[in-house]
Amino acid sequence: MPKSIPRTYSRYSRDAVELIGALIREARTERKLTARELADRAGISRGMLQRIEKGHPKCEIGAVFEAAAIVGIQLFEADDRALAQHLRHTREKLALLPKSVRRTSKPVHDEF
């Protein structure tokens, strides 16, 4: 791991991460929670919550989702049950797909 070129992100990814952060901050403020309170509840440091709310792309996704969930932000617009079901369904569908993708000589032409 000699050099470590800083990772680059597409605009879409950057916007998405930043949006989540902004939504968390918005929800936290509306619910009158201090940064410390939310951080404690989420089991993360205040500094990390700062980065999350700022939309830093290198934060643990688990920590981000945890903070989001606490202030009531639904990913996938689905509650607990719906999310779990979606997950089960996706797992099943995944079981039916090929286990590995075979790259056969010429790359397929796709839909272009």
Partner DNA sequence: TTTTAAAGAACTATATATGGATCAAAAATA
Partner DNA sequence: TATTTTTGATCCATATATAGTTCTTTAAAA
| Residue ranges binding a copy of itself (CB under 8 A) | 7-20, 22-23, 25-26, 28-35, 37, 43-44, 57-66, 69, 75-77, 80, 83-84, 86-87, 90-91, 93-94, 97-98, 100-101, 103, 108, 110
Structure tokens at 77: 């617009």
Contact by Cβ (8 Å): 53, 17: no
Binding site for DNA (CB under 7 A): 1-4, 6-7, 34-36, 43-48, 50-51, 53, 56, 58-60, 63, 98-104
State the nearest-atom distance from the C-beta of 110 to a copy of itself, in Å.
Answer: 7
Contact by Cβ (8 Å): 56, 64: no
Among DNA, a copy of itself, none, partner that 76 touches (CB below 5 to 8 angstroms by kind): a copy of itself
Angle among Cα 69, 74, 77 to the nearest 5 degrees reads: 160
Structure tokens at 71: 């202030």
